[in-house]
Structure 1
Amino acid sequence: MSAELSIRNLTAGYGAQVVLRDLSLEITEGTLAALIGPNGHGKTTLLRAISGLVPITAGQITLAGTRIDPLRPDAIVASGIVHVPQGDLLFPDMTVLENLRMGSYLPAAARLEKQRLEEVFSLLPKLRDRQQQTASTLSGGERRMVGIGRGLMTSGRILMLDEPSLGLAPIIIDQIYDVIDTLRGSGRTVILVEENAMRAADIADEVHLLDHGSIAWHGKGSEMSGRPELLETYLGS
């Protein structure tokens, strides 16, 4: 399979603070790629750079051979990259259904809204029962599911999930990972940022380890368990 998303010699950050340094990686089409590494070493910043939310000072990002780094964030979404950020970031006074429909505001997604909504409810059946409930009254796990569902409503080709299990109870994390594993089997390209390296590696096709804003190691998810020095050196486990 070919590289769907290609990042070359990327440098980016916040003003004078450089976070990503000459970073290069490729995400293969139709795979689940996990981004792991110590906290504060660039995982979330990388997703934000791909989404156009963090300015880059060097390098380039291409989607299916077309550069997207010069584009505005809304144009990057329209090109097919969907970013489900860390935390809930829902509209708290809107219902679950209204939050989900916010994901289909682009014309291409709006035309498929009913179809996508059924797909979301099939993948996340609890949301069908909660669709008229106000988002502020949901549990943490339910809010996270709404966030993922809203991302799926965009009909994007790449779904980026930033720590979807953060702060959730273990039983809810299992449910979230069941959803992610189903997405992996659907042929969609998924980029997963996760603090729990081994949990991510268990379901990932590709693993990219970030350290101080650069890729320190990459390989198959199944290879992580055979590299204890990586866990000890970079992840402290």
Structure 2
Amino acid sequence: MTEGRGKFITLEGLEGVGKTTNRQFVESLLDDADIDFIGTREPGGTALGEALRELVLAADGQMQDLTELLLMTASRVEHIANVIEPALAAGQWVLCDRFLDASIAYQGAGRQLGVERVADLHRLMDVTLEPDLTLLLDMPVATGLERMAARGTPDRIEREAMAFFERARQAYLQQAAMAPDRVLVVDAARPLDAVQESVRQALLPLLEGA
């Protein structure tokens, strides 16, 4: 068990950038370092969150963009209160597939609801938790979408037009530029071994301090 408060690590990026593969790689690094951790995801992470995930991502579903944002936020509030904060307080590390940066990118920029509007909503809901490290896996949108197409039937958000994902990518990169001490941009278009070496180097300072 890690002494003191645990570390909070998030993985971000658009469709097809390799989040699943690299999440497994991070998990292996944490295991090798004998760090007690949990893996989770957004939307999801709780029974309610997983139910909301089904509503938001249903391939044949329809909803207002603002409704989508509110459901994502509701899932996050439950997730923090019932999973993330208790784990961190107990000394566990938390590895999360997507967090607030995803809503800023997808709903704020992709849906054009406004980045500040998304941030303001979360502040209103007292969502102030920030990751210790965010790994932003980045590649050209067209490349990611080509990879995604090979995986099978896309969900409701994955079916969006390229312009949607271009806006989301730029918002992600802007978040990284605004928080360089927290967000590390990893060029995910490179060969996997190079990508994972960048991920390993990003995690080293946290691992060495554990």
TM bracket (short chain): 0.3 to 0.5
- Rg larger for: 1
TM-score by length of 2: 0.36
TM-score by length of 1: 0.33
Greater relative contact order (Cα < 8 A, sep 6+):
2
- Please identify which structure carries the higher helix content: 2
